[in-house]
């Protein structure tokens, strides 16, 4: 086991259970109720793993938490997690709900297209319409997450909408980990000390919760105790380094480890499976959360030539894909 991989240990602490007897244990002290096991965050339970090229084996992911892009306010930090390409979609759904506190959307708007310049006479209106549709229908937008082509323009429209209306639109970038700039991958990877400090803070915090609020479930994931990582804003700085930048206007990033560097497309299969799972297999962790409704979102403006809705993976339950040429 590598240093810092203690995350593989079972993370549920309980009070000492007294020996069986008529209300008392062997020391004649009153019986103490066993502390209920807390809900373990996904990253702690090690259901999210990354590929180790040295050992050629999977290990608990060390790249997760929050990332802040320079020149952006700290409160706009984005959630991120590196995970293996074979990760079970049920585990990712658990990540979205337990760690990232997301509730099921009414609609998925999956925006796809080449990672190159998108030329369209009504480009601004196309992307503004997609973001407006997402806001009005309580939808999520899913893109490839990098700062090029349709992903970049989607991010710009999201920021414009937020600046204009004050409303956030959940925008998830699903990118291949190996195409992200190497220096950025290094920055996004947690050190052993960071993980240990976070585990200590969480344990201390949860002990306080148990001592003062009996029976209250622990709400914070381990990632919430990790300091945000910081990356340069690619729209403000220039770099000659090979590789892709992440678009700073996405709210979440799923970084798919395809075991290969500098090769695009390693996320495609998992993205398709995840979109289908969100559409048809979502199970609410919190039964009080709204399950949303099904439907489609009309786009405002004359964008028929640029936008083509398709639905290859979910039998039309929830997913609407806009494939931009």
pLDDT one-digit tens code per residue, 40-67: 344 454 478 888 888 988 888 899 999 9
DSSP classification of residue 8: G
How far apart are the two ends of the chain, measured CA to CA in Å? 46
Please give the torsion angle defined by the CA atoms of residues 1, 187, 176 and 198, in that order, rounded to the nearest 10 degrees. 50
pLDDT digit string, tens, across residues 231-257: 998 988 888 899 999 999 999 999 999
User: Which residue bears the tokens 């503004």?
Assistant: 128
pLDDT class for 117, splitting at 50, 70, 90? low
In the three-class reduction of DSSP (H, G, I as helix; E, B as strand; rest coil), residue 65 is classed as: strand
In this predicted structure, the answer to whether residue 294 has a pLDDT above a threshold of 60 is: no
In this predicted structure, the answer to whether residue 266 has a pLDDT above a threshold of 90 is: yes
The sign of the torsion formed by the CA atoms of 84, 90, 93, 99 equals negative
In this predicted structure, the answer to whether residue 306 has a pLDDT above a threshold of 50 is: no
Question: Which has more pLDDT, 320 or 252?
Answer: 252
Of the candidates 150, 178, 325, the one whose C-alpha atom is nearest the C-alpha of residue 250 is 150
The per-residue pLDDT for 39 is 36
Of the candidates 313, 225, 301, 299, the one whose C-alpha atom is nearest the C-alpha of residue 269 is 313
The per-residue pLDDT for 114 is 64
Q: Which range, of 53-62, 160-169, 271-280, 309-318, averages the lowest pLDDT?
A: 309-318
CB 175 within 8 A of CB 265: no
Q: Which residues pair with 171 in a beta bridge?
A: 141
Give the β-pairing of 107-112 and 139-143: parallel
What is the DSSP track for 249-293?
A: T-SEEEEEE-S-SS-TTTTHHHHHHHHHHHHH----SSTTS----
**Residue 85: left if φ>0, alpha if ψ -120 to 50, beta else—which one?**
alpha
Q: What is the mean pLDDT of the chain?
A: 75
What kind and span of H or E run contains 174?
strand 171-176
In this predicted structure, the answer to whether residue 68 has a pLDDT above a threshold of 80 is: yes
**What is the percentage of the chain residues whose pLDDT exceeds 90?**
45
Give the β-pairing of 229-231 and 64-69: parallel
pLDDT class for 124, splitting at 50, 70, 90? confident
In this predicted structure, the answer to whether residue 204 has a pLDDT above a threshold of 90 is: no
Structure tokens at 9: 């240990």
The per-residue pLDDT for 139 is 93
In this predicted structure, the answer to whether residue 26 has a pLDDT above a threshold of 70 is: no
CB 180 within 8 A of CB 257: no
Full-model pTM: 0.74
Question: Which has more pLDDT, 319 or 146?
Answer: 146
User: Which residue bears the tokens 């090690």?
Assistant: 46
pLDDT digit string, tens, across residues 154-202: 999 999 999 999 999 999 999 999 999 999 999 999 999 998 998 888 8
Q: How far is CA 63 from CA 50, 207, 305, in A?
A: 8, 26, 40
Q: Which range, of 83-87, 147-151, 237-241, averages the lowest pLDDT?
A: 237-241
Structure tokens at 44: 């702690």
How many CB atoms are located within 10 Å of the residue 178 CB? 23
In this predicted structure, the answer to whether residue 268 has a pLDDT above a threshold of 90 is: yes
CB neighbour class for 58 (10 Å; exposed up to 12, middle 13-18, buried from 19): middle
Question: Which has more pLDDT, 73 or 185?
Answer: 185
The per-residue pLDDT for 73 is 72
């Amino acid at each position: 086991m590598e240093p810092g991989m203690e995350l593989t240990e079972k993370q549920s602490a309980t009070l000492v259970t007294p020996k069986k007897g008529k209300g008392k244990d062997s020391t004649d002290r009153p019986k103490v109720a066993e502390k209920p096991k807390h809900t373990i965050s996904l990253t702690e339970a090690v259901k999210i793993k990354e590929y180790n090229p040295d050992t050629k084996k999977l290990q608990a992911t060390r790249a997760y938490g929050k990332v802040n892009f320079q020149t952006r306010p700290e409160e706009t930090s984005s959630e991120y997690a590196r995970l293996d390409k074979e990760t079970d979609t049920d585990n990712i759904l658990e990540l979205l709900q337990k760690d990232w506190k997301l509730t099921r959307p009414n609609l998925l708007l999956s925006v796809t297209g080449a990672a190159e310049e998108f030329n369209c006479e009504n480009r601004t209106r196309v992307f503004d319409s997609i973001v407006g549709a997402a806001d009005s229908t309580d939808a999520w937008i899913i893109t490839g997450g990098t700062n090029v082509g349709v992903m970049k323009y989607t991010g710009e429209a999201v920021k414009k909408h937020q600046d204009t209306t004050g409303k956030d639109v959940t925008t998830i970038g699903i990118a291949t980990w190996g195409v992200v700039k190497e220096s950025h991958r290094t920055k996004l990877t947690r050190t052993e000390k960071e993980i240990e400090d976070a585990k200590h803070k969480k344990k201390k915090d949860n002990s306080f919760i148990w001592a003062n609020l009996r029976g209250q479930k622990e709400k914070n994931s381990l990632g919430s105790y990790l300091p945000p990582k910081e990356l340069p804003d690619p729209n403000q700085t220039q770099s000659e380094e090979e590789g892709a930048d992440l678009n700073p206007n996405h709210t979440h990033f799923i970084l798919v480890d395809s075991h290969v560097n500098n090769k695009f497309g390693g996320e495609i299969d998992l993205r398709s499976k995840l979109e289908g799972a969100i559409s048809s297999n979502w199970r609410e962790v919190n039964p009080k959360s709204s399950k949303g409704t099904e439907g489609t979102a009309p786009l405002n403006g004359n964008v028929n030539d640029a936008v083509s809705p398709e639905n290859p993976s979910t039998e039309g339950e929830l997913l609407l894909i806009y494939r931009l040429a």
